[in-house]
Structure 1
């Protein structure tokens, strides 16, 4: 989440009036994240029907043609018992609208907090809910290709260029060659479903050890379920800067996942390479955003080296990173 576009109180009030949620009371920009502009909206609507929402304006890296997939997926998963926020449809029944030439959507606000340092118990429950989401999503009829796979990571890093990467950190240019090798070795034929593919701790809301919401599905796609687990492992099992691997959290995450859906032998064998690809995805996207983000945007830039350290750990430890 982030704020690239500034909207006046009058514009926000007019927009909220297009929904049956009451009148606008307050709107607060949310600075975290890098892809869209977001506001926490409070209205005069009843607490029973909801009076807090997330308003999203789609700015970067999201093809508007994919919005029916993203928003339809939220509604489908919510209807099938997953802790996922619903899309709020406007008075005409549309799940998104256009404002100043950009698409916007109003999303249900679900309570909970994102944890900075997850416990093994929290990680176990996240793994369980991730597997339940994969199982539920088998019935979703839409599909979307993963446009941020290993080949895309290799391409983005190459396009950033050695000089620009070195300006961020002298070790970054080496990831260009590594990303090509991972793309060439990428496993094929693993079991698929709709995956979240971006399940960082700040995209999970917790109430104690319980998962109250999975949010920010704007990178969801059709891909290998084990890859989604690898992405989540890379996001949850390390300190924020990637310097410390928390083996107990990693073990709990995988155990929680397998309490619902057992991995097959091919998936287990592929996990280390899938985790390398996951790390490289965030190295490439963070490097690109670091270079491309406007200086005046209300955005917190993220250090790609946090995931270079994860990449190096998976390269060094291999299967031991996923030992039970």
Structure 2
């Protein structure tokens, strides 16, 4: 359960009084998520999410994240909208943590994504990229190539505790990506973490995107590669080409990839797999076994990475050749 910081009734009632949210009716911790503490809060004026930012989140980045949510909402993207208090501020404090309220989005995330879900996500990702073009604030991606080296350095001596040979695999892949990683692809704001549990649906219709706390500036096609890794592999780790084609075709219906993005896509897919392998392996080794949050299995991304290492062309992912 991802509730690291407890909130009392009295403290929450006092906090709500500084907003135009009505009276507190009830609240409950949200079990999902690993980065922050989240509560669903019911008041006499509606339902809201209260997020308490834990120590892994740099509070200096919060204006970028929350400003991005406001920017995207104004441009028709269905994502959480920060709630400003009576003083016009989006950031507040409770239980010793910086915090913020956002509106509640209806929907559930798909436990068994189908090709139709992948198509909806592809289109939504393109819409997000296009809407974010006019967002002027910038945040470098701390979890790109340079950051991967730094992260691996933190657990390299213990990598084989996760899986025999993992350290050798990561060293090989980092050396390859140092040579092959593209530097000049079209870029802008990316979500960087658009996994199925961050996308809500009502029936077959996508109803919202959440959890923008890895958002940053990077290559748009890299964000698409992250989605491919997250949405287009089955529980047995086999690649689902039908889902991949649906995801990519829907994305390209709004923002066709350039020839350079097409050529670089297999490298981007490898990099996306390595990024999540590294963070999961790090957390696997550094999470207290008694912690309430269970770390994700890093070996799921070893399997993905090995698949991408065998790919010779973007066509194998279902990308159509661009001019």
- TM-score higher than 0.5: yes
User: What corresponds to 2:43 in structure 1?
Assistant: 43
Provide the residue aligned with 2:84 in structure 1. Answer: 89
- 1:154·1:183 contact (CA, 8 Å) conserved in 2? no
Match of 2:206 among 196, 202, 211: 211
Give the structure-1-normalised TM-score: 0.93
Q: Secondary structure at the match of 1:313?
A: helix
Cα distance, 1:169 vs structure 2: 2.2
The alignment status of 1:298 with 2:298, answered yes or no, reads no
1:34 matches 2:47: no
Q: 1:174 to 1:33 in 2, by over 3 A?
A: farther
Counterparts of 2:174 and 2:5, CA distance in 1: 33
Superposed CA deviations along residues 46-78 of structure 1, whole A, max 9, x for unmatched, are xxxxx1111111114321111111001001100
Measured in 1, the distance between the counterparts of 2:70 and 2:51 equals 16
RMSD of aligned alpha carbons: 1.7
Shift >4 Å, 4+ stretches: none
Residue 238 (str. 1) matches residue 255 (str. 2)? no
Q: Summarize the alignment of residues 148-187 of structure 1 with structure 2, pairs less than 5 Å apart.
A: 148-163=143-158, 165-177=159-171, 178-187=173-182
Q: Secondary structure in 2 aligned to 1:87? A: coil
Partners of 2:218 and 2:109 lie apart in 1 by 26
Aligned equivalents of 2:55 and 2:316: distance in 1? 33
Given that 1:280 and 1:307 are in contact with CA atoms closer than 8 Å, whether structure 2 keeps it comes out as: yes
Cα deviation digits, residues 86-113 of structure 1 (max 9, x gap): 0011111111112344210111111011
Equivalent position SS for 1:267: helix
Q: Is the 8 A contact 1:34 1:289 kept in 2?
A: no
**SS state at 1:259 partner:** helix
Cα distance in 2 for residues equivalent to 1:17 and 1:278:
43
CA–CA distance in structure 2, aligned partners of residues 293 and 39 of structure 1? 22
For the residues of structure 2 that align with 1:140 and 1:240, how far apart are their CA atoms? Answer: 37
Partner of 2:196: 201
Match of 1:133 among 117, 124, 128: 128
* Residue 217 of structure 2 corresponds to residue 225 of structure 1: no
In 2, Cα distance between equivalents of 1:311 and 1:59:
30
- Following superposition, the deviation at residue 291 of structure 1 comes to 2.4
1:111 aligned counterpart, secondary structure: coil
For 1:171 and 1:11, how far apart are their aligned partners in 2? Answer: 50
- Segments of 5+ residues of structure 1 without an aligned counterpart are 46-50
